[in-house]
């Protein structure tokens, strides 16, 4: 019997992503990062896992470009 690794129809492709599209997040503090703590980003899309961490496309209001980051760089903004 063949093994199907794809999720059933209607199910999300990955349950590995901690954050969902539309959710507000902050970047974790990182050396050399010039973003202020209060900068809030919105998740625009979930992307495949890279180096063991799920990826996201994010953007903050006022920016005209999107960023791609891994989950280990994000935390919930709670608001």
Q: Where do the structural domains in the chain lie, given as residue ranges? A: 24-76
The pLDDT score that the predictor gives to residue 65 is: 95
The single residue listed with the structure tokens 């920016």 is: 63
pLDDT digits (tens, 9 = 90+) for 11-68: 444 568 999 999 999 988 666 555 555 789 999 999 999 888 999 999 999 899 999 9
- Taking phi over 0 as left and psi of -120 to 50 as alpha, with beta for the rest, 31 belongs to beta
Pairs from 68-73 (Cβ < 8 Å, separation ≥ 24): 69/27, 71/17, 71/18, 71/19, 72/28, 73/27, 73/28, 73/30
Q: What predicted TM-score, i.e. pTM, was given to this entire model?
A: 0.70
Residue 41's nearest CA partner among 23, 28, 53, 55 is 23
How many angstroms from the chain centroid is the CA of residue 68? 8
């Amino acid at each position: 019997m063949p093994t199907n690794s794809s999720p059933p129809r209607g199910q999300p492709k990955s349950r590995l992503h901690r954050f969902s599209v539309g959710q507000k997040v902050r970047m974790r503090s990182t050396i050399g990062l010039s973003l202020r703590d209060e900068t809030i980003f919105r998740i625009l899309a979930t992307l495949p896992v890279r180096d063991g961490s799920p990826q996201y496309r994010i953007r903050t209001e006022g920016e005209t470009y999107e960023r791609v980051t891994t989950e280990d760089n994000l935390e919930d903004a709670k608001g």
